[in-house]
Amino acid sequence: MRTTVGIIGAGPAGLLLARLLHNAGIDSVVLESRDRAYVEQRQRAGILEQGTVDVLRAAGAAERMDREGLPHDGIELRFDKRRHRVDFPALTGGRSVMVYAQTEVCKDLIAIQLAEGGPLLFEAQALAVEGAETERPGVRFRHEGREDVLECDYVVACDGSWGVGRKAVPADVSQVFERTYPFGWLGILADVAPSHDELVYARHDRGFALLSMRPPVSRRHPSGEVASLPVSSYITRAYLQVPDATDADDWSDEEIWDELDRRLETSDGWRLERGVITSKSVTPMRSYVQEPMRHGRLFLAGDAAHIVPPTGAKGLNLAVGDVVTFARALTHRLETGSTERLDAYSQTCLRRVWQAERFSYAMTTMLHRAPDATPFDDRIQLARLDRITASHAAGTDLAEGYTGFPLD
C-alpha cells in the first residue's frame, strides 16, 4: 500500500489532517487501531477555541457544529461562595468559544472522510514507524489478521499519548518535559439540564469542581430535521478533583452530587439540579511535552507530542493547531519545492504548545487544592482569583488564553 501521507490515529488530529490534505489535493491513508463506534463514543473534550471553530468551517466540516454547538461568550469563576464572570468578547475584541463535544467533531469528520476522502481503516493497528530518517518512511500495521506496510512520503503520528509514533524518535535526539499532579478528575454525565448557562470553574478548600454541559444524545425531530438547540435541552457534564488513583466506583451518585453542591455553593442562593448519572470515570492529570516534534519524515501531532491537564480545555485545540501547521507546510513544499516550513514545523508548533502548557498549568494550580497545600498557598490562590476580578489586564490575560493563542 502506498500514499503521500500516512496518518496514524483517527482522533481529532488524524481525522482533521486527512480532511485538510484532501482539500489541498494531497492523498493520505488513516490507520486507526479501534473500531468506529469506540472512536465516536470516547468521552473527552467539550470546548472549541475560536481558531478551531474557524478551521473546521474553512475545512467544510462545521455544518452540524454551527447548528448544534453552543457559542459561549464567557465562563464563571467561583471562590469563597462568590461568582465572577469573565466576558470573553469584551476582553479580547470579540473572541469566544464553542461548546461542541469532541465525540461530535469526530463523528462529523469520519462521515465526511468515508464519503469523499481517502482510505480510513478501522481496526488497523500501527506496529512501528520504519525508516523515518529516509526518503521513504513506512508504517508497519496489522489489519484483518494480516501484517502490511504502508509506504509513504511522510508519516504523521496522531496516535495519542500511548501510540507508537513517539517511540520511533530515538531517545538521544529527543527530550521530555513532564509534570504529574497528585490528583485527578472524576467526570460524570447526568441526565439533567445544566444548572448554569455557562461553564463554572470553582475553587474550594475541598478541591476543584467544574460544571459543564453536552448536547442531548437524541436530537432529531421525527421529520429528520435537526433543530437549533437551547441550553435547556443540554445535559450536565461535571468534574470533581479527586485524589490520585481514585476508583470512580468509590463514589456513589449521592456522594458526587453532595460534593458538587458543597464546592459550587454560592452565597446568593444558586441551586444545583440533580439527575440520573449515566457515566462516571476518572482521568489523571499530566503536563507533558516531547521535543522536537519532528524526526526526519516523521511528524508528531496532538497528544502524541504533548499533554495538558484538562483545566484549560486546550488539548483538542492544540491538536488542531499542529495538523493545520503540517498541512500548510506540506502544501507550501508541494507548491514551491521549499522545505522551509516543514523544517520549521517543530519550532512553529512548540511556541504555541508552550503557551498552552503555561496557561493550563496556571489554571490548574490556581483552582486545585494540592494535598500538601498550606494556608499560605490557599491565600495565594484566592489572591490570584481576586486579581482577575479586580484587574482588566488580569481578566484579559485569562480570556486571551482561554479563547486561544493565534495559529501563526
Number of Cβ within 10 Å of residue 341's Cβ equals 17
Least distance in angstroms from the C-beta of 269 to ligand PHB: 25
Q: Does 120 bind ligand RFL (CB under 6 A)?
A: no
194 contacts which partner out of ligand RFL, ligand PHB, none, CB within 5 to 8 A by kind? none
Q: Quote the least distance from Cβ 11 to ligand RFL, whole Å.
A: 2
CB nearer to ligand PHB: give 251 or 402: 402
319 binding ligand RFL? (CB under 6 A):
yes
Among 44, 84, 179, 341, binds ligand RFL (CB under 6 A): 44
Looking only at the bridges linking them, the beta strands covering 294-295 and 97-99 are unpaired
Query: Is 311 exposed, middle or buried, given 0-12, 13-18 or 19+ CB atoms closer than 10 A?
Result: buried
**How far is CA 79 from each of CA 33, 195, 363, 385, rounded to the nearest angstrom?**
43, 17, 14, 8
Verify binding: residue 194, ligand RFL, rule CB under 6 A. Answer: no
Asked if 169 and 21 count as a contact pair (C-beta separation under 8 A), the reply is no
Q: Binding segment for ligand RFL among 33-41, 192-200, 363-371, 375-383 (CB under 6 A)?
A: 33-41
One residue of 3, 5, 7, 9 binding ligand RFL per CB under 6 A: 9
Helix (H, G, I), strand (E, B) or coil at 362: helix
Q: What are phi and psi of 205, to 5 degrees?
A: -60, -25
Instruction: Tell me which amino acid residue 104 is.
Output: E
Q: Which does 291 bind (CB under 5 to 8 A by kind): ligand PHB, ligand RFL, none?
A: none
**Residue 131 makes contact with ligand RFL by CB under 6 A:** no
- Identify which of residues 41 and 338 has a Cβ nearer to ligand PHB in the complex: 41
Nearest to 203 by CA among 381, 391, 397: 381
Exposed/middle/buried for 239, CB within 10 Å: 0-12, 13-18, 19+? Answer: buried
Asked whether position 314 contacts ligand RFL by CB under 6 A, the answer is yes
Question: What secondary structure does DSSP assign to 241-268, as a single string?
Answer: EEETT--GGGS-HHHHHHHHHHHH--TT
> Which of positions 53-112 make contact with ligand RFL (CB under 6 A)?
102
CA angle 235, 236, 237 (to 5 degrees): 125
For the CB of residue 186, give the shortest distance to ligand PHB in the complex, in Å: 12
Which backbone phi and psi does 219 adopt, to 5 degrees? -130, 10
310 is catalytic: yes
Known catalytic membership, residue 234: no
What CA–CA distance (Å, rounded) separates 110 from 212?
25
Does residue 292 have a cis bond before it (omega within 30 degrees)? Answer: yes
Residue 198 binds: one of ligand PHB, ligand RFL, none (C-beta under 5 to 8 A by kind):
none
Among positions 132-161, residues that touch ligand RFL (CB under 6 A) are 158-160
246: Cβ contacts below 8 Å, ≥ 6 apart:
184, 186, 282
Q: Which is nearer to ligand RFL, 14 or 138 (CB)?
A: 14
- Which residues neighbour 254 within 8 Å (Cβ) at sequence distance 6 or greater? none
Candidates 100, 154, 181, 201; catalytic one: 201
Selected range binding ligand RFL among 2-10, 193-201, 254-262, 382-390, rule: CB under 6 A: 2-10
Among 194, 310, 401, 404, binds ligand RFL (CB under 6 A): 310
Catalytic residue list contains 402: yes
Which among 59-67, 216-224, 308-316, 332-340 is the span making contact with ligand RFL, rule CB under 6 A?
308-316
State the minimum distance, in angstroms, from the CB of residue 254 to ligand RFL: 22
Count of residues in contact with ligand RFL, rule CB under 6 A: 36
Examine the residue annotation and report whether 288 is marked as an active-site residue of this protein.
Answer: no
Calpha distance 72→47 (Å, rounded): 9
Which chain residues interact with ligand RFL by CB under 6 A? 8-14, 31-34, 39, 44-47, 102, 125-126, 158-160, 163-164, 185, 187, 283, 302-303, 310, 313-317, 319
**Which residues are designated catalytic?**
72, 201, 310, 314, 402
